[in-house]
Structure 1
Amino acid sequence: MRRMLVCMMFDTAENFQAIEPFGTNLSQGAADYPGLDEWRNFDVQQAPQWYDETVLEDSLSELSHVPPLVFAGEVDVLRERLAQAAAGKAFVLQGGDCAETFAGATANKISSRVRTILQMAAVLTYGASMPVVKMGRMAGQFAKPRSSNMETRGDITLPSFRGEIVNGFDFTEESRRHDPRRMVQAYHTAASTLNLIRAFTTGGFADLRTVHSWNKGFMSNPAYARFDELAAEIDRAVRFMEAAGADFDALKTVEFFSAHEALLLDYERALTRLDSRTGLPYITSSHFVWIGERTRQVDGAHVDYLSRIRNPIGVKLGPTTTVDQAMALIEKLDPNREPGRLTFIARMGADTIRENLPAIMEGVKAQGAQPLWITDPMHGNTITAANGYKTRRLEDIMSEVRGFFEVAQATGTHPGGLHIELTGDDVAECLGGSVAVDESAFDERYETLVDPRLNHQQSLELAFLVAESLAR
């Protein structure tokens, strides 16, 4: 049934030529596209240790035959949108779960995440008078890198939780086993999620003329009150334009793209297809994929593989990044300097961004390169609370965002986007906010399996800060 839904969803989309079935053993029929499997000869960081080679082969073979989740035409549109952002004519908003779960792919949870991103985009668009490219960390963000392969609790040591595409969160031997069938389940969950996202963004849910209804169900607080004021202003502007005879068809639907970290190369390779128009390879698991801080080695497998596919790609840059490393990544991933091809996602930390980012931005600019620069103010600001929970302070997140805009302005670079971990639910995972979350709320409202996320109210507060920074 799920495969039927995917086929129906894309029956008018561009056709793809499927790459031949393949396994981890190249002698068993890997595709012939030049260089596509060179990554297997490099060091593959963060690779799972699958428990059964036969099950892995069967799972990858199945994934190599399923319908693509996204299509070349959609990916090409996104590349054009990102090129506009790199040129200073748009702003990118990437948001969603730290690590998606299979159980979390419900209509209510997906709609609340989409609604939060749409609300943030409305704030940014109206406040900064700039188009916003909307992208969800959704329909594929099932894998997470870990600093340690193993986790110990008491006298028991088991493999670390690597996201539900690899293993389970429960601390049991069976749950923590690296099971390749989970990749197939991740594909079907992503398909269901994309079905819902497309329905929400094209079926009236995202109509900007219903902007007032997007706050229903949330308690009154300063962040929501401020959004209601903005919604009233949008309403007045829409009524004026309507009276003037404007056509509002463009307000009924929105473009919404999917994104995730391309951590599991087995999964991405199995879902790579050749575009029938050009014969070029596209990852069809997502419109946009990025390489994390732990896997961005220029001579590593992740960089090699993503250098060979046509999707727009991102790279996380941490505080230890040098100009030479950034330029080496540009030469490998975007040698032709194609607008919209490469995005640098800075994740420096509030205490270091003003010191470390200027040299990188200036050095890249001096070399004539123009990647899209966006900020990830989440991952450099993770701390452990007194009660043992992993958390982040909203004030640190906002400080890093301010620092990013300050550095961009000082170096003459367009601050092109925001990349955050968020949820549309009323969770308590990050500290602070206009209705302050403190550590006492964690025991009842802390839900994330890996990293802490901004809740709906905190996400809106951040959007207003960014809008003000863009409007200056």
Structure 2
Amino acid sequence: MSKESWREKRIEQDVQYPDDAHLKRVLDQLGTLPGLVTPFEIDRLRNQMAEVADGNAFLLQCGDCAELFSYCNPQQIEAKLKLTLLMSLILIHGARLPVVRIGRMGGQYAKPRSKPTEVVELPNGEKRTVLSFRGDNVNGLGLDERVPNPDRLLSAYFHSTATLNYVRSWISSGYADLHAPHAWSFHHVQSEYLQREFSRITDSIVDTLDFMKTVGADPSSDANHVLNTVDYFISHEGLMLEYESKLTRETEKGAYDLSAHTIWLGDRTRQLDGAHIEFFRSIRNPIGIKVGPSMSAKQLIDTLEIVNPDYEKGRVTLISRYGAQKIDDLLPEHIRAVQATKHNGKVIWCCDPMHGNTVSSPLNPSVKTRIFADIVKELTSSLRIHSAENSRLGGVHLELTGDEGVTECIGGSMQLSDEDLSRNYLTYCDPRLNYEQSLDIAFILSEVLRAQRKGAADVSDAIVNALAHSIDEDSDSS
């Protein structure tokens, strides 16, 4: 096995470029460029993911469904970082566990499609069949930009570089300092319930830090740098194998894909005999695998045997995405299948409550949305099922945006309705949780994890439902 052995396999979601010579020139250039991340950083994440697998940390993976090159600006990068830090702070307070933060950013430019073409309607009412939009690193949204262009791979690299450079600078500049949580942005949150809960958490943090200083354990000293900064890792779907391969470097330890700290396999590219599985098994990065209704228990175990034959703890994150109506029928079987193998205790179970709950807007069937109640139901059902099966939910995988006032998902503490979608629907891909809806999820998770930490043997339906409804009830009474 080598990092090039994937070329002998069938490639799903492959892109057909019109000029092979042009593609080769671009790929040759990519192969000479520095990696976006380092093997040392990837190994650091490997260690932290092992802690998640052991139940000593919690995984928060979140960001845009797919990035546009235009998202590479200070305002939008900062907004996602601030929201991630707020959510992780809330989770840490409830779970009393470190949070491993992984962003869907700095490379999430590719987009799998079920069909190679789509029908669009022109301003004059005429309908035209065009190549599907595959993401900014393949082609453009404009009808005159649909032909795949290899130069976009270079643009993806440099936009990813700029994004990651800004992330590192922003975090190292003290914006993640826990000594000033009251300064963190919460100004545009409308819910009085969320305002009260966040004030309660920040007051508790300030009080604890003040106590530590009083007894001589000064939390502001250099020795306590963990309170002043955080680790933040980047990830994307490993869809474009030519791109991933050209940024993979061989070391004494093995091959590292330096396009990101971790990449994941989607539903459309995890064929056992496919090129993507072959590439993923060749790299030392922690990897994710989307697990949904189309995956049988046998396929799940066969996949794990291929990508993690040495049963490395934390190497594989199983990102479950069933849908609120299917999770009770499917997740228990998958959990039991893993428990019956040597992979038990080695994998991380992570809930993606977004992808299985995409529906059409009743007012406008061409618009995709997600119902917040369905998202909460799948997430809390996952917690309940894992508890009942003597398993552990180790993380959550969310599509969200830090941009203010976005209206793409229905419900949450803002009580968004179907009529609200047209007010500020910005995504060109899948609908994302907005700022307040993301915090809603963080508080619900925090309370459930807190209950488990306090000794709850399982997460009962009554507790889950009370948590899910408390935000709406508070919002209604405010």
TM-score by length of 2: 0.89
Partner of 1:8: none
Partner of 2:337: 363
Partner of 1:133: 100
Report the residue type matching 1:90 in the other structure.
A
How far residue 367 of structure 1 moved from its aligned partner, in angstroms, is 1.2
| Aligned pairs, number | 435
Report the residue type matching 2:409 in the other structure.
C
1:96-145: per-residue Cα shift (whole Å, max 9, x none)?
A: 00011111111110011011111110000011111110110010101111
> In structure 1, how many angstroms separate the alpha carbons of the residues matched to 2:400 and 2:189?
18
Partner of 1:446: 425
Partner of 1:315: 289
- Matches for 1:199-278 after TM superposition, within 5 Å: 199-221=169-191, 222-248=193-219, 249-275=225-251, 278=252
TM-score by length of 1: 0.90
Report the residue type matching 1:43 in the other structure.
R
2:430 corresponds to 1:422: no
> In structure 2, how many angstroms separate the alpha carbons of the residues matched to 1:81 and 1:109?
27
How far residue 216 of structure 1 moved from its aligned partner, in angstroms, is 4.4
> In structure 1, how many angstroms separate the alpha carbons of the residues matched to 2:179 and 2:410?
33
Partner of 2:471: none
SS in structure 2 of the partner of residue 119 of structure 1: helix
Q: CA RMSD in A?
A: 1.2
> In structure 2, how many angstroms separate the alpha carbons of the residues matched to 1:452 and 1:206?
28
How far residue 219 of structure 1 moved from its aligned partner, in angstroms, is 4.0
Q: In structure 2, do the counterparts of structure 1 residues 247 and 300 end up closer, same or farther at CA, with 3 Å as the change threshold? A: farther
SS in structure 1 of the partner of residue 71 of structure 2: coil
Partner of 1:14: none
Partner of 1:169: 141
1:323-344: per-residue Cα shift (whole Å, max 9, x none)?
A: 2111101110000001121111
- Whether the 8 Å CA contact 1:215–1:224 is kept in 2: the answer is no
Partner residue of 1:327 out of 272, 276, 301: 301
> In structure 2, how many angstroms separate the alpha carbons of the residues matched to 1:420 and 1:79?
21
> In structure 2, how many angstroms separate the alpha carbons of the residues matched to 1:135 and 1:247?
29
SS in structure 1 of the partner of residue 420 of structure 2: helix
SS in structure 1 of the partner of residue 162 of structure 2: helix
How far residue 169 of structure 1 moved from its aligned partner, in angstroms, is 1.3
- Matches for 1:33-182 after TM superposition, within 5 Å: 35-154=2-121, 155-170=127-142, 172=143, 174-182=144-152
Deviation larger for 97-106 or 50-59: 50-59
SS in structure 1 of the partner of residue 235 of structure 2: strand
> In structure 2, how many angstroms separate the alpha carbons of the residues matched to 1:208 and 1:69?
28
Report the residue type matching 2:14 in the other structure.
A
Partner residue of 1:380 out of 338, 356, 375: 356
Partner of 2:446: 467
Gaps of 5+ in 2: 122-126, 220-224, 453-478
How far residue 288 of structure 1 moved from its aligned partner, in angstroms, is 0.5
Partner of 1:18: none
Partner of 1:348: 322
1:338-371: per-residue Cα shift (whole Å, max 9, x none)?
A: 1121111100101111110101101111113131
* Identical-residue share of aligned pairs (%): 40
SS in structure 1 of the partner of residue 32 of structure 2: coil
How far residue 322 of structure 1 moved from its aligned partner, in angstroms, is 1.6
Report the residue type matching 1:291 in the other structure.
L
How far residue 279 of structure 1 moved from its aligned partner, in angstroms, is 5.2
Report the residue type matching 1:207 in the other structure.
D
Partner of 1:287: 261
> In structure 1, how many angstroms separate the alpha carbons of the residues matched to 2:370 and 2:44?
34
- Whether the 8 Å CA contact 1:87–1:414 is kept in 2: the answer is no
Report the residue type matching 1:443 in the other structure.
S
- Whether the 8 Å CA contact 1:70–1:286 is kept in 2: the answer is yes
